[in-house]
Each structure stands twice: as C-alpha cells, then as structure tokens.
Structure 1
Amino acid sequence: MAITSTPLSIEKMDNAPLIITKHSAAFWRVTLDNPPINLMGPDMIAGLQRLMDIVETDKALKVIVFDSAHKDYFVSHFDVLRGAEVPMVSGKLGVQQWVDVSNRLHNAGVISIASIRGRVRGIGSEFILACDMRFASKEQAIFGHLEVGMGLLPGGGAAEYLPLLSGYARALEIAVSADDYDADTAAVYGWINRAFPDKQLDAFVNNLATRISGFELPALQATKTILLQRAGGRPDPFEIQESTNKFFELYQRPEAQALLAKLMEKGFQTDSDTEYRLGHHLGLLAGE
C-alpha cells in the first residue's frame, strides 16, 4: 500500500497554524506552521485540541504523522509571552488545555508519529513525547529542555514521560542541564526511536505510516493499549497538571522574570542566534 501521488485533500485548519494532508482515509499528516520559529502558543494548542476532537470521532483514521513546515524549528518552545491565554481548565478532564491535548493524543486510538527536523525544546519535546513514536533527522534535529535555565521546570509532561523512556538519571541530566542535544544522543537516551540521515527520514516515516495504515484498526488499537499498560506508559493527567501548575508558579517569581527579560534582550522568541543556539546562550546566562 503506497502513498498516492495526489493526496485526497490538503486543508489549512481555520484559525490555527496547522495543515492537514490526508494521504488516505487511514493516514493523515499534520504540519505545524507557525512562522517564524513555530512557537507553541494558544492558537496552535487550541487547534490541536480541535484536531483531537476530529481524530477521536473518525472511524477510518489509523495513523497520523506530525511534522513541521520550518526546517530549523519543529516546535521551538512554549510562547511564554502568551501563556496566560491558554485555558487552565479545558476539555473532558477539566485540566489545562495543553495537558488535555497531550493526554488525549497519547491515549488516542490511532498511532501517532513525530517526524522531526529542527529544534524541539520545552513543550515541543513534551509534544513529541506524547506521540507514540519519534524519528528525527541526524543533521537537522536538535532537542532540549530550556526550563531550568529560565528558573522554571519542565511542566507540560516531560517530568512524567521522559523518565519512562530515558530513566531517571538521563531525564534529570536533560532537565537540569538545559542544554541542546543532537539526534544521535536523543536516540541513545530513548528520547526518540531512531535518527536517520536527513535524506532518508521522509521515506522511512512515509513507508512506516503507510504500512501501519494497511493493518486492521482493532489489532492496532489493542496492541497500543496493551503495550502502554505493560510499559507503565500512561502518565496521570492530573500529575501532569500538578507539574504544569508548578511551572506557572515558578514563572511568577521575580527571579524568573529577570531571566526572561535578559533572554528577551538577546532575541528570545525571535528567529535569532539565541533561539538557534539556545542551550549555548542559557549556559552564558547562568554565568552572568
């Protein structure tokens, strides 16, 4: 079963930086497109929540691939300047909107795959961790958790997902170093499934997704459910909510605000060297 040369449809989601390409009824690709640096802000989070409403009711969909329209940024990080616009109570469970989205994605009856080029930090990492599988470009993917370097903590699911995949010691290293990691290291640490030479990434992910889309949905769903149970891979959304609350609590501190102000002066949240080499600049910030 192969991807047809002409997709069934390509649609830009209304009022959200998401492009949905339906390769078949069973295989969709969702492209994140929030230039210039693909910040995860309220519009993207709300769009992903609406996407999950669609995914959960579609009876034919089996596999969904997430990628980015911007080769340098998959999801740079959370848009801290617009954080107050993200509802703290939302969705079926009455948790913060991002927690609702990531929990529903992780537990959805479809297989989700992140195909990663560019920087994926903070909530971007938490987004790919909520997916079922993650594959990345050796040359173009960079991973990191910036939060501790800003006086915060990883609060959108990393504290719950990363230890399951990487173990405590490596998860702690990732979190407290606030540094950038290449795709090869991310693969060794279990952060992602595999890293590929960039020219091979699309073909591998497309072939895998197409192959999965040809199998029976009940078998896919039962296998995902059982493996999640056996692996202990269903983090409690209310534990993630607790981490999220702590993130916002730390964000309100004058010390954290001062660090943010210094980063903003250096070009944080713009297409700048600060964002391009954020791990490096956080290290400099710590020494000031």
Structure 2
Amino acid sequence: MTYENFEAIRVAVDAGVATVTLDNPPVNVEDAKLVRDLTRFARTVATDSSVQVIVYQSANPDFFAAHADNGWMFDPSGLMALADPDGDPGLNPLQQLHERLRTLPQVTIAKLRGRLRAGGAELAMTADMRFAAAGETWLSQPESLMGIFPGGGGTQYLNRLVGRARGLEIALSGELYDSATAERYGWINREIAPQYLDAWVSTIARRIAALPTGVATAAKEAFDAAEASGPVPDLREEAKAHGKVYPSPPSVVARVRVLMDHGGQQPIGEIDLEGTLRSIPWPAAE
C-alpha cells in the first residue's frame, strides 16, 4: 500500500505503525481537504494488513485540529458535497468520516498537543485511545456558542467516554478544558509530561503492533460487544436533532461572519475562541 499525494496529511508507516500527521495550515481546520484526505487514507488502510496501529498527531504544536470549517455555516452545500457514497445516508458527512475512522480494524491512538475543538475533538474521539501533553493540551466543544451543538458524532462519543451529565456540561458550557480535567472526566486516557509524550505513544503503539496477528482487532471487537446497545447506537438520532439547528438561521450565520472578521480560523482568533465568541452579542430572536 502507498500513502502519498495527500494535501492535508502526511503518512509514514514503520514496524506496523502508521503515523498520520495532520498538516493543514494555519490551524488544522477540518475542511474539505482534510476530510477528503482522511477518507482516502481510511479506505486504504482498512485493508492494509501490514498496519496494526494508527497514530494521529499534528504538525502544529498549538492546534491538534481547530474545528470543522466555519465556511460550512455560510454554505451548507459545501459540507453535503463531501457525502460518502459508501457511508450511512442517514448521517452527515462528518459523522460518516468519523465513523469510518472509529470503526477501522486497527488500534488507533490520538497523540494530542495544542487545542482541539468541535470537529477536531470529535476526530480525536474516534481513536481508541487518547494521550495528551500535560499543560499543553486543551479540549472544547464550543458549538453551543455558535448556535448549534456537536453534530459530528460528539454527543454520542462524549456520552460513551464521560457520561451524560459531563457530556451535557461540555457540550453546553462552551468551556475550554485542560488536560488534567479531561483526564479526570475520562475524555482522554491520561495526560503525560510533554517531554515524554512521544516516547510513551511510540512505545505503546509498537507493543500493540508486535502482538500476534489478529489479537488487537479481536480485542476491539470484544470491548465493543461489551457495550450492551452497540458501540454508538444513535448517530442517526444525533443527525436528526442537529437538523433542527443546522443549517443555521441568518442571524446566527451573521454572528459567525463577525467571528471570521475577528480572526476565526486564524491563530489570532483561535487561541481564545471561546472568549472571542462570547464577546459577540447574540442577535435578537427572530
């Protein structure tokens, strides 16, 4: 298998471990380029028996993945154009991508540094494990500050990881969570001192890759089966509920335009995205 000619990711395979580096400047937005690249990668690696483990990381130490492309607030058709012809037609394109990644046969690990919000956090939650650089990693689902809620699988993934009460807190508070809180909540496996994160992830990835063929995949299947109702039973319900708030009304779209005019999807506006959003008044109810 070859992993070349991507626009927004780089892939390197060594000793049964595929390292996928998100490299979509300036802030690793989950846009059409990244969605297409990750979809093509997932299609290829799903049948690559030489890869036992996949590690996701970022080329940008400040942003693992900022969030989904805000441009889709202005042009929902741009998102829908990315629909996966082989995916569940009842899901939106981001759900389709995230489920394709979540259900890969390989063990997947997200190595986190910097900020990951909304679609970026959902992308990380598709991984089987998440390890974060302590004091250098922050997670958020700030969609409520944009008049929507997590709709790329986030409500279902959060519920599995942190439970309903904390999931609702994360989804509706619009807070930015540090790695210590994320670990305590179960959002990540653990936070690790930054200088040891690379070695930690490399070691666990290589140990898993060296297991006898089929062991890790069978273990994934068994753990999924332990969840009585199935791994993620209600993504269609999430899609249906999300349809009540997206595409957004003109007043909310106008608010996102203000965000974009104040540095949205650029480092200056993304470092304190939650604060930027809170500084923009909500429009009067229509």
Shift of 1:15: 4.4
| Pairs within 5 Å for 1:61-210 | 61-82=51-72, 84-86=77-79, 87=81, 89-95=83-89, 96-210=92-206
Instruction: Give the AA of the match of 2:84.
Output: S
**TM-score, scaled relative to structure 1:** 0.89
Match of 2:279, SS? Answer: helix
Which one is further off, 63-72 or 11-20?
11-20
* Alignment correspondent of 2:236: 238
Unmatched segments (≥5 aa) in structure 1: 1-8
- Using structure 2 for the length normalisation, give the TM-score: 0.89
Contact 1:91–1:100 at 8 Å: present in 2 too? Answer: no
Query: What 5-or-longer segments of structure 2 have no aligned partner?
Result: none
Counterpart residue number, 1:215: 211
Identify which of 10, 13, 35 aligns with 1:22. 13
Stretches (4+) displaced over 6 A: none
SS of 2:83's equivalent?
A: coil
Residues 162-184 of structure 1: CA deviation (Å, up to 9, x unaligned): 01111111111111111211011
Provide closer, same or farther for how the CA distance between residues 94 and 163 of structure 1 changes in structure 2, counting only shifts above 3 A: closer
1:57 aligns with 2:30: no
Question: What does residue 262 of structure 2 align with?
Answer: 266
Distance in 1 (alpha carbons) for counterparts of 2:270 and 2:38: 24
Q: Match of 2:215, SS?
A: helix
Number of aligned residue pairs = 275
CA distance in 2, matches of 1:286, 1:23: 50
SS of the aligned residue for 1:43 comes to: helix
Change (3 A) 1:19 1:240: farther
1:180–1:278 contact (8 Å) kept in structure 2: no
Q: Provide the residue aligned with 1:275 in structure 2.
A: 270
1:89 is displaced (CA, Å) by 3.3
Pick which of 85-94 and 174-183 moved more: 85-94
Offset at residue 101 of structure 1 (A): 1.8
Give the aligned residue type for 2:278: G
Q: Distance in 1 between matches of 2:242 and 2:95?
A: 8
CA distance in 2, matches of 1:71, 1:212: 26
Cα shift at 1:84: 3.3
CA RMSD between the two structures = 2.1
User: 278, 284, 288: which is aligned to 2:279?
Assistant: 284
Q: Distance in 2 between matches of 1:36 and 1:216?
A: 40
Distance 2:85 2:55 in 1: 23
Give how far 1:240 is off. 4.5
Superimposed CA distance per residue, residues 190-214 of structure 1 (whole angstroms, 9 cap, x where no aligned partner)? 1110001111110100000010000
The alignment-based identity, stated in percent, is 31
Give the distance between the partners of 1:33 and 1:243, measured in 2 at CA.
32
Assess, with a 3 A threshold, how the Cα gap between structure 1 residues 17 and 178 changes in structure 2: closer, same or farther. Answer: same
- 1:31 aligned residue (21, 26, 32): 21
